[in-house]
């Protein structure tokens, strides 16, 4: 049955899922949900009926609606096992999940659109303060990931071991966000090298924001 992804070109959580869909060689239908237009299409009743959290992504498959990007990625990995995105060993799997969660739980949520909107509109912070907040939390997380990549990458081209894992599918979208936030990646050379190498792979290139059907013409 068709895979239908509710997505937004610039959503880094949706970007993770797009990477995994591409790695698995799966065709899917994109349903764009513009996060800014008309107060945010993710807050419309038709979308809240699918995902009461009002966040993208959501994936429809086999009559089910799945939400939360990491739950979706693990679903896809179990349902379409090749190539595997988690290592065979118990401890190795836990480490890859920890690296993925370092992005998905401890960096991204602090900088999400609704958090930035609340800082600005709810707490009256100016652009400099919001930008400083975003850069601070990405820097904190990237510092730890730099050490973890040094410890666990066996080839300097992947976050863990010598093949693509769930951690890589989380790192690249977060690096995209970091660049958008104006961060220079120089303090984290291992992380930057891994991200640059991964971005050159066709599956990661197909998933990048600018390649999405809802990206505005000339986006880049």
Ligand X SMILES: N[C@@H](CCC(=O)N[C@@H](CS)C(=O)NCC(=O)O)C(=O)O
Residue numbers of the site for ligand X (CB under 6 A)? 11-13, 35, 40, 42, 55-57, 68-70, 104, 112-114
CB of 71: closest distance to ligand X in angstroms?
Answer: 8
CB of 146: closest distance to ligand X in angstroms?
Answer: 22
Q: Which residue sits closest to ligand X, CB atoms considered? A: 114
Q: Whose Cβ is closer to ligand X: residue 69's or residue 153's?
A: 69
3-class secondary-structure state, position 195 = helix
Q: Whose Cβ is closer to ligand X: residue 155's or residue 210's?
A: 210
Q: Whose Cβ is closer to ligand X: residue 166's or residue 198's?
A: 166
Distances (CA, A) of 37 to 42, 88, 201: 10, 43, 32
* CB neighbours of residue 91 within 10 Å: 7
Under 8 Å between Cβ of 216 and 6: no
Q: Whose Cβ is closer to ligand X: residue 31's or residue 70's?
A: 70
193: left (phi > 0), else alpha (psi -120 to 50), else beta? Answer: alpha
Under 8 Å between Cβ of 168 and 213: no
CB of 102: closest distance to ligand X in angstroms?
Answer: 13
CB of 31: closest distance to ligand X in angstroms?
Answer: 13
* CB neighbours of residue 63 within 10 Å: 6
């Amino acid at each position: 049955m068709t895979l239908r992804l509710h997505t937004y070109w610039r959503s880094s959580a949706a970007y993770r899922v797009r990477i995994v869909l591409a790695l698995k060689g799966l065709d899917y239908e994109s349903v764009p949900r513009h996060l800014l237009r008309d107060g945010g299409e993710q807050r419309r009743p038709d979308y809240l009926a699918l995902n009461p959290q009002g966040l993208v992504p959501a994936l429809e498959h086999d009559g089910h609606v799945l939400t939360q990007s990491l739950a979706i990625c693990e679903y896809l990995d179990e349902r379409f096992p090749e190539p595997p995105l988690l290592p065979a060993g118990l401890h190795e799997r836990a480490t890859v999940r920890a690296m993925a969660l370092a992005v998905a739980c401890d960096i991204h949520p602090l900088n999400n659109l609704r958090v930035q909107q609340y800082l600005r509109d709810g707490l009256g912070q100016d652009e400099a303060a919001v930008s400083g907040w975003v850069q601070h939390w990405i820097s904190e997380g990237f510092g730890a990931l730099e050490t973890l990549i040094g410890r666990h990458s066996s080839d300097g081209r992947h976050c863990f071991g010598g093949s693509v894992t769930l951690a890589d599918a989380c790192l690249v979208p977060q690096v995209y966000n970091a660049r958008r936030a104006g961060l220079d990646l120089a303090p984290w050379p291992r992380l930057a090298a891994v991200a640059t190498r991964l971005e050159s792979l066709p599956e990661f290139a197909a998933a990048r924001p600018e390649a999405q059907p809802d990206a505005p013409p000339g986006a880049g």
